[in-house]
Structure 1
Amino acid sequence: MINSTQVSYFILSAYFETGGFKYLYFLLILSLYVFIVCANVLLIVVICVNRSLHEPMYLFLVSLFVNELYGSTGLFPFLLVQILSDIHTVSAPFCFLQIFCLYTYGTREFWTLAVMSYDRYLAICYPLQYHTRMTTNKVAVLIALTWLLSSVGVSVTISLSVPLQLCGNIIKTVYCDNYAIVKLACSDTRVNNIYGLSYTSLEVVGLLILILYTYMRILKVCFSGSKQTRQKAVSTCTPHLASLINFFFGSFFQVVQSRFNMNSVPMMLRNVLSLYFLTCQPLFNPLMYGLQMSKIRSLCKRLIFGKM
């Protein structure tokens, strides 16, 4: 039996021999990472330097884009090193650090999208009272809570995993995953499973109820309101709805590939499914919000090309 103090490193067995193609994969992943960083940083700068965008909706977008930079940085540099490496190992402390980064990223993304749905609900259902209900202080508190609660919840998850006695150190993924480590345990994992199931269920159910409630109220206002109200609702909610759908697809792929036996699926496809959850939002959101929201789109053009 190998206990957790004796496991100094983990082996990532999902990498496969690519030969000379590893340099092509390296360039593709590097290009994707550079694009994600540039796109998210550009939108953060545009929102921060333009006072006309210092509104609750855009401040929540800044939090969303910062979180995507955070999640991407927890994944892509590690992937780039592993692609060029011939020995796919990672030290135990770094592995748990990466788990913390990736799990807090995913949790925070969900919290932020739920808070943004509440913001859209206030803007459409209570337009005259919006700025009194969604003050700057309230925005700051909501953003702080999304970052704090996600960090606390994931910290408890990791603190329960670190002391586990492990019977091996081979993880069948391309990055560190807490559930994969728990499956290696030869000690009792009931506390881990109970906490993980309870925490995930309460979080998912609670936030889904909030999102569904806000959009039911928005739909009610749209059907009973004027054409102008419907147009405003569509223009402001379309990017958010698209981001939510994309996030749920990524979450579904992540659950399928991590919880079910995927040995019959080619390794390449399994890796793509596992990476989609961590790359879909950082890649998709800047494009969606940058292209769909006319105010951001015009300010991006002015920042890049100068005043027309």
Structure 2
Amino acid sequence: MAAFNLTPAEPLTFMLMGIPGLEASHVWISIPIFLSYVIGLLGNCTLLIVVSKEQTLHKPMYLLLCMLALVEMGASTCVVPKAMWVFWFNLRDIIKGGCFTQMFFFHAATVIHSAILVTMAFDRYVAICNPLRYTTILSNAQIAKMGLVGLTRAVLCILPLPLLLNRLPFCDNRIIHNTYCDHMSVAKISCGDITVNRMYGLVITFLIYGFDLMLIALSYSLIIRTVFILSSREVHQKALNTCTAHLSVMFMSYLPGLVSSVTYRFDQGITPHIHIILANLYFLIPPMLNPIVYGVKNKELRDKVAKYTGRR
């Protein structure tokens, strides 16, 4: 009887190289990355625990903060553990399915993150410009519905990315010069035509983030106009403090991501490790600093956190 070889073909494997040009310093580079990740987890988990336990914090603003914390922890957790395996143990291999899964969840998290920031800007607009109708316009149920819309938008916009990559051929060069599977990092190692990938990634970047930034700018321009009309200095100061916290978070969130996204596509004259460092700042800095920013600027939240940390 003829013998049949039924051994399945081995899955396609990519290799994550970490930060190109700085391989000799990977262990030292991993220290601030890991510490930032741990600080971000501790800060955001503290925020989630305090808000969940305090009935007085069960408001739309704090629900949005919790959603932001969950998304930021999810985005960094998609990347940092695998990056640590690369930095510490030189375990660089990642199968194609795992790579595409990591890419989908990371990019989806960034789109959801942007939607939450837009909702937070709208929340502040209603609270400052139309405070008497705040509870009717924005409730916890309404915030949950907005979150569901943001999740649906993220899935619909990001799902084509792994599908577009899956149609591309990958030859012998399967080395990804990054700490994680970013869409353009993977597309660039293909031996096929990636024009569609480039165009779709660019369109998504400008349509989603450009539209979201336009809505945020509109909200804050209306807020600033209202604040200057207010006669009370105390109300003035309170509104500006709230806006400062939100604008700080948005600046930290959008700037590294947009710069990184654009430089990946128009990379003439920019060294590769600059790309990677910018990309890593995007998912490290906001989760670490956002709880601190809101804790400092929001007295109600600061008092509740102090209450729980004092008990411990």
TM-score by length of 1: 0.89
Q: Conserved in 2, the CA contact under 8 Å of 1:253 and 1:277?
A: no
- Structure-2 separation of matches of 1:271 and 1:199: 20
Q: Give the counterpart letter for 2:290 in structure 1.
A: N
Post-superposition CA distance 1:61-80 (Å, at most 9, x none): 11000111111211111111
Q: Give the counterpart letter for 1:259 in structure 2.
A: R
CA shift for structure 1 position 206:
1.9
> Which of these residues, 54, 57, 60, is aligned with residue 56 of structure 1?
60
CA shift for structure 1 position 256:
5.0
Aligned position for 2:85: 81
CA shift for structure 1 position 124:
0.6
Aligned position for 1:298: 303
> Which of these residues, 170, 173, 176, is aligned with residue 171 of structure 1?
176
Q: Quick one: structure 1 residues 29 and 186, their matched pair in 2 at CA, closer, same or farther if it must change by over 3 Å? A: closer
Aligned position for 2:149: 145
Q: Conserved in 2, the CA contact under 8 Å of 1:257 and 1:273?
A: no
Deviates more, 1:111-120 or 1:159-168: 159-168
CA shift for structure 1 position 108:
1.4
- Structure-1 separation of matches of 2:23 and 2:212: 41
Q: Conserved in 1, the CA contact under 8 Å of 2:69 and 2:287?
A: yes
> Which of these residues, 234, 255, 262, is aligned with residue 261 of structure 2?
255
Deviates more, 1:191-200 or 1:231-240: 191-200
Q: Conserved in 1, the CA contact under 8 Å of 2:48 and 2:66?
A: yes
Alignment of 1:61-140 (within 5 A): 61-140=65-144
TM-score by length of 2: 0.88
Post-superposition CA distance 1:127-185 (Å, at most 9, x none): 00110111222111011212221122111222221121223312121211111222233
Q: Conserved in 1, the CA contact under 8 Å of 2:256 and 2:281?
A: yes
Alignment of 1:241-252 (within 5 A): 241-252=247-258
Q: Give the counterpart letter for 1:220 in structure 2.
A: R
| Matched residue SS, 1:186 | coil
Structure 2 alignment gaps of length 5 or more = 1-8
Q: Quick one: structure 1 residues 202 and 30, their matched pair in 2 at CA, closer, same or farther if it must change by over 3 Å? A: closer
- Structure-2 separation of matches of 1:206 and 1:170: 34
Q: Give the counterpart letter for 1:198 in structure 2.
A: V
Aligned position for 2:15: 11
CA shift for structure 1 position 193:
3.5
Structure 1 alignment gaps of length 5 or more = none
- Structure-2 separation of matches of 1:187 and 1:75: 26
Q: Conserved in 1, the CA contact under 8 Å of 2:257 and 2:278?
A: no
Residue 235, structure 1, aligned to residue 241, structure 2: yes
Q: Quick one: structure 1 residues 266 and 91, their matched pair in 2 at CA, closer, same or farther if it must change by over 3 Å? A: closer
Q: Give the counterpart letter for 1:230 in structure 2.
A: H
Number of residue-to-residue matches in the alignment:
300
Q: Conserved in 1, the CA contact under 8 Å of 2:257 and 2:279?
A: no
Aligned position for 1:182: 187
CA shift for structure 1 position 281:
0.9
| Matched residue SS, 2:159 | helix
- Structure-2 separation of matches of 1:56 and 1:282: 20
RMSD: 2.3
Of all paired residues, the percent bearing the same amino acid is 27
- Structure-2 separation of matches of 1:198 and 1:144: 23
